[in-house]
Amino acid sequence: MDAIIWENDHLRLLDQTKLPGTMEYIECYDYRKVAESIKRLAVRGAPAIGAAAAYGLVLGAKQINTTDRKEFLEKLEAIAGELRATRPTAVNLAWALDRMLMRVNTSSEQDVEKIRRVMLEEAHAIYQEDVQSNRKMGEFGQELLPNGARVLTHCNAGALATAGYGTALGVIRAAKEKGKEVSVFADETRPLLQGARLTAWEMVQEGIPVTLITDGMAGYLMAKKKVDCVIVGADRITANGDVANKIGTYGVAVLANYHKIPFYVAAPLSTIDMTLSSGEEIPIEERDPKEVTHHAGQAMAPDGVQVWNPAFDVTPNSLVTAIITEMGIIYPPYTENLAKICKPNK
């Protein structure tokens, strides 16, 4: 169930808009196809769009028809700009593209064909490091889960949202691999149902007991003492530990706080944006109102209704019990403790 596959000369992206019904790959030979796939959420989840964009830039580099290094680099910057503009909130996208450009710009290589090869190596490294980070997060994070833990998650922070294994779902997978019994409650995650379509699907595939609930049921679930902790992923974490994640996450965090349930965020360092001091500064993507008014092409609301459709919200650091990273579990005070594991310019 790989969301992203590099095959010889092109990129294959699992079309997540068709899950769980159909498993179909989009064959990308053109960087524009990758950009379009990111935009319409065929590939989604912060680390996954970073890795996909890195490979997209490799495709773009192949499409630049020149042997002149300077001209090549100028055109590459423009293509990176197009890929970067596809989605604003998940910092992994910009992070991966910056890393690709940095690798190219700091290489003394003059031969454009060799630069293209170096770029493919770098994209592979981004992909592989993400899988390794998720495994490490799983190792650290599973310590937080007692045997029998019942975990609530929101959206999909699984293998589909990353290069593999997953962040929040990686922690759950790791607990299972340690022999612990663990079960999951998946918020359906309106409006695009990543919880119902993707998280529930991943868990069913894996044989991890999963119960699907609508988003509005989370409070009652907690009141009935059916949840031991919440684990979610993140699209961007600022230097003070504020967390942008799928719309609805903030509500879950408030509920968890009220019910005194730990609220954990699992995310790799590539999701931490030390250039922003607080969540107020995170650009929040607003998407097509039709995602709210329509379901499977069918209108669910009257014509002419006004719609607000932010794709993400920001959970303040005060509601976050701990952040699980590949460097270990980070506790408050986040400003101090995140600075210890992140480079200041990142």
Catalytic residue numbers read: 235
Candidate ranges 26-34, 43-51, 57-65, 199-207; the one touching ligand MRU (CB under 6 A): 43-51
Q: What is the DSSP letter of 176?
A: H
For the record, the structure tokens of 166 come out as: 């997953």
Among 245, 315, 317, 321, contact with ligand MRU (rule: CB under 6 A)? 245
Q: How many residues does the chain have?
A: 346
Amino acid at site 26? I
In DSSP terms, 243 is beta-bridged to 237, 315
- Tell me whether residue 240 is annotated as binding: no
How far, in Å, CA of 56 to CA of 310, rounded? 26
Smaller CB separation from ligand MRU, 45 or 120: 45
Decide if 54 contacts 100 (C-beta within 8 A): yes
- Tell me whether residue 87 is annotated as binding: yes
Smaller CB separation from ligand MRU, 119 or 319: 319
How far, in Å, CA of 305 to CA of 303, rounded? 6
Smaller CB separation from ligand MRU, 119 or 166: 166
Among 235, 273, 313, 326, contact with ligand MRU (rule: CB under 6 A)? 235
Q: Least separation, in Å, of the C-beta of 86 and ligand MRU?
A: 11
Q: What is the DSSP letter of 161?
A: G
Among 86, 194, 321, 325, contact with ligand MRU (rule: CB under 6 A)? 194
By CB under 6 A, the residues from 265 to 284 that bind ligand MRU are none
161 binding ligand MRU? (CB under 6 A): yes
Q: Least separation, in Å, of the C-beta of 259 and ligand MRU?
A: 21
Q: What is the CA radius of gyration of the chain?
A: 20
By CB under 6 A, the residues from 90 to 149 that bind ligand MRU are 90
Residue with tokens 């490799």: 58
Neighbours of 279 (CB within 10 A): 21
Neighbours of 200 (CB within 10 A): 20
Smaller CB separation from ligand MRU, 17 or 118: 17
Backbone angles phi, psi at 272, to 5 degrees: -90, 125
317 binding ligand MRU? (CB under 6 A): no
Name the residue with the smallest CB distance to ligand MRU: 233
How far, in Å, CA of 193 to CA of 41, rounded? 12
44 binding ligand MRU? (CB under 6 A): yes
Q: Catalog residues that contact ligand MRU under the rule CB under 6 A.
A: 41, 44-47, 90, 155, 157, 161-162, 167, 194, 233-235, 245-246, 311
